[in-house]
A and B are shown apart, each in its own frame.
Chain A
């Protein structure tokens, strides 16, 4: 009973004050006998800190991490560098053990961080307004679609393509099944571009959802697609990569209405997929449909500038069933990390990070393409991610060989092409041209030595015996 306070004497005094014989008496008064547990919970026995730390350290050591292995994995989560100051600040108890700023007077730290985060997101995206974060990139994409549907009465078609993150599409399928909306997944062209979706846009289209750079690492014709959507009266939603904006045009500057992102790459650890940071920004006019919390500036009774949670009439605790979404919490701690991270990088640091990713990715592409066994799939430059086809037709064995040699060398795309064990719908499969391919991400953290070793190991891996 490590974290309890009361001595037996305390308990006796407290019971006396209550006027009860025992705690059981208080509980039994309320919980009917028939539904009370008659046995103890069947859980592992209590474990002290010393023993538990030792056991957990052993358990953790059994996992291949980006520390023990060299990581070339992406697909929406990236091994970017995190400056030490991010961890130092975020590990302050005043941040991580506080709660939603219901009492603004004693939450100015968090509220100001939210306001600063929102400002940074608008600067990053070129859009007018940002919320204070959502769960993660995938659910943010779906929230953006729901937001667009609620704006566009009489339009129920949602158009996306087969090179938007398959998991993001999986979430969309799950959310849209029970409401009046139709999901149309348009096939991309042979290079993995979403331009064919333009033909599918019609007067029933509420929104188009694209990703740029997309899941296979290709840049999209965002401005063109957004213009076509706008002409048809539909909204454009873009999934972006925050790091890419060190170099690429911002969503707002390309005519996008709602931009969402996975913010993990801004100072947040890989953490096996979570907690992550859902970034969402939109044009000013859409602010009252924007889901999630928003902090705003005001003054206090002494005229001092300060910050509060605002526009709460969009939220579930006031409008209940009419709320713009059911989202109650947000990801403040991860938004804090992103805020500190972006403050440390600044415009030049972000640009430098993007430039390093671009140069190292180009180098990795070049070295791997030298081998007869591999070819790069899709034309065009890459920011940090690209697809490699294994002509030896044994991606699974190839990646296993690399793991044994200390490399997380890429993500096997074959299961994603057939729907995979995790995918319940064909709407979320990748195009079949990515079978026997793997997805590679090269961040600024990868050194030339690591990239050379990666290429060498992949090239020397035994290919599947041809029959």
Chain B
């Protein structure tokens, strides 16, 4: 039987006068707040928050947690999102008081341990990317895109250049054009060719002396490494533009190839994807960026630098770590304080656990898992772009749609009944009825086999069963249209009563 406290809202559970948290008596003289503050500043009553006992709160939220699929509970082959296992040691270590309870504006002298870690991490990000300038300020991948484009804009402004256009691939993440627009650029879309790679003719046609940046995802969102990369590199740089690499798919190439080696001038990482940070139900992540040396002075700050300590007595105080602005030309900040330190500490622990060789194995197994799934899935679903992929691939449900009126969304919903999270559907936009699968390296062959078996069974099942799926979840096929047409975005007495 399901716990009612999770299907009701906090506000419906509320009873006037209930309380979970009390501070108790003051140990300093009390003050009369009404006398101290002017009337115009004070509220007559505190905000109308719900009133609950601690037991209410705990049972409510624990109950709600059981309504989520998560990496800890289910296989989550959500393409492009890289839902790999989130190591428990990372959580434990990141929660040490010396990392968790440090204030962002405290003096550097009391932060030497953390700053050393962050300094080393900057170096690791530079090594893995092949790009020496690093800023860990941005709070998410898309935030990194924006920060890097602001860096590019500052660079071109310094050059006296009026380059105002950013090119994005038609298979790019939607954040790419949105970030370019936010950074003040106009955007143009470069088409993909029949093989799912950049259409070089279209790229040539769109590159000119107005082009500031070409934003490239490689491996791309079809899971393919663009083998024309050297030519792309040549074309873009000959046109005087920069290459930005969307680092969403770094999971596939760790220790195999580096963005800096294949021509990228700027990039972001998604440490929550590549370096196993938990995704937190949609966040937090982080979006550190790496750039070529001539762009480093424009990076957002602060960054960590170190100086040799002349009076050192041993290894422990050999260096002094400090926060500095990259230069007077820095674009400033894109976020308050240092950045998403908690996510970065987890990435550091992950990288230390694997080391360089281990990291390459990560990518190899990610590629192996994806190709293994591809080799099985292609027997019953079309895979428009080839037999081989990097760490993910995109199948298409068009044939099923024609034959059985089953869409990619139908498959996604039905797979939930089999105890798997759905793959990404309808992305990338360049594949009709796209079903994008990314197993990651942290799934066993047995899990992958069970997933393939479930997918295959679904393609054999009756239409009706699938149209009504999922059947095993608490709710099924919510009405998105009404949600958007008549938005109910908060609880009120009336809204709660009418649909309870």
Contacts and interface: CB of A to CB of B under 8 A. Distances in A.
Contact of A122 (B10, B62, B357, B490): B490
Contacts of A32: 227, 229-230
Contact of B282 (A67, A293, A355): A293
A153 interface: no
A137 B336 contact: yes
B200 to A, nearest CB: 15
Interface in B304-338: 316, 323-325, 328-338
Interface string A294-338: 111111111011111011110111111111011111111110100
Contacts of B475: 104-105, 108, 300, 302, 304, 306
A403 B110 CA distance: 8
Contact of A171 (B65, B328, B332): B332
Contact of A329 (B26, B52, B141, B229): B141
Most chain A CB within 10 A, of B57, B74, B87, B93, is at B57
Interface stretch (B255-263, B398-406, B456-464): B255-263
B229 A98 contact: no
Nearest to B51: A346
Nearest to A132: B282
A56 B98 CA distance: 10
Nearest to A447: B27
A5 B68 contact: no
B441 A65 contact: no
Contacts of B181: 321-323, 326
A403 B109 contact: yes
A448 B150 contact: no
A109 B284 contact: no
Interface in A114-162: 115-116, 118-120, 122-124, 126, 128-130, 132-133, 135-139, 146
A173 B334 CA distance: 9
Contacts of B257: 31, 35-37
Interface stretch (A77-85, A197-205, A453-461): A77-85
Interface in A270-301: 270-276, 287, 293-301
Contacts of B301: 422, 424
Given A19-B375, A63-B99, A105-B476, A139 B20 contact: no
A219 interface: yes
A26 B372 CA distance: 11
Nearest to A100: B282
A46 B362 CA distance: 13
Contacts of A358: 31, 33, 36
B337 A40 contact: no
Contacts of A315: 174
Most chain A CB within 10 A, of B68, B142, B390, B491, is at B68
B342 interface: yes
Interface stretch (A89-97, A184-192, A229-237, A385-393): A89-97
Contacts, number: 725
Interface string B438-464: 000111110000000000000000000
Interface in B329-365: 329-343, 349, 351-362, 364-365
Given A57-B96, A63-B110, A274-B338, A4 B361 contact: yes
Contacts of B162: none
B46 A348 contact: yes
B178 A298 contact: no
B128 A41 contact: yes
B363 to A, nearest CB: 8
Contacts of B262: 35
B23 A353 contact: yes
Interface of B is mostly: loop
A93 B124 contact: no
B58 interface: yes
Interface string B46-72: 111111101011101110111111111
A183 B442 CA distance: 49
B352 to A, nearest CB: 5
Contacts of B62: 89, 92
Contacts of B91: 91, 96
Contacts of A300: 475-479
Contact of B49 (A52, A146, A350): A350
B64 A103 contact: no
B78 A99 contact: yes
Interface string A228-253: 00000000000000000111111001
A273 B9 contact: no
Contacts of A103: 69, 412-413, 416, 421-422
Nearest to A317: B174
Nearest to B374: A18
A269 to B, nearest CB: 5
**When A and B form their complex, which 7 residue pairs have the shortest distance between CB atoms, in order from nearest?**
A273-B337, A60-B98, A64-B110, A93-B72, A178-B184, A138-B336, A62-B113
24 contacts: A1-B362, A20-B371, A42-B127, A52-B89, A64-B106, A77-B103, A93-B72, A99-B279, A138-B337, A168-B336, A171-B332, A245-B43, A245-B46, A271-B100, A272-B104, A287-B489, A300-B476, A321-B181, A323-B174, A327-B142, A328-B142, A331-B284, A345-B21, A408-B103
Given A113-B64, A113-B281, A362-B36, 13 more contacts: A18-B371, A52-B93, A63-B102, A76-B336, A105-B476, A120-B49, A122-B490, A271-B341, A297-B491, A301-B476, A302-B476, A343-B57, A349-B23
